[in-house]
Amino acid sequence: MLGAFTELAPLAVRGGAGFVLWIIAVIIGIWGLGMLFRGAVLAGILLIVLAFAIGPGGWFILD
């Protein structure tokens, strides 16, 4: 069953688009760390998870 879903997996982002996604993910991750240090734990964790999700190696919803 899962074999059928691997064909739907997105291609790896290459070149400039991958670099831009990486920069955006780093900025959001640093913002999330800042929120954690200010005491907004839930918002900080959500931003860090979002950074992991939008990075060039992000998650695919069908995995």
pLDDT in tens, 1-55: 444 444 434 445 556 777 888 888 899 999 999 999 999 999 999 999 999 888 7
What is the extent of the structural domain holding 41? 25-56
Residue 21 near residue 56 (C-beta atoms within 8 A):
yes
In a domain, 2, yes or no: no
In a domain, 9, yes or no: no
How many structural domains compose the chain?
A: 1
What's this model's pTM, rounded to 2 decimal places? 0.66
In a domain, 40, yes or no: yes
In a domain, 19, yes or no: no
In a domain, 61, yes or no: no
| Per-residue pLDDT, 4 | 45
Task: Say which residues have a Cβ less than 8 Å from residue 4's Cβ, sequence separation at least 6.
Answer: none
Provide the greatest CA pair distance for the chain.
45
The arithmetic mean of pLDDT across residues 52-61, rounded, is: 72
In a domain, 11, yes or no: no
Looking at per-residue pLDDT, the higher value among 32 and 59 belongs to: 32
**pLDDT at residue 61 tops 70:** no
Please tell me the distance from the alpha carbon of residue 14 to that of residue 57, in angstroms, as a whole number.
11
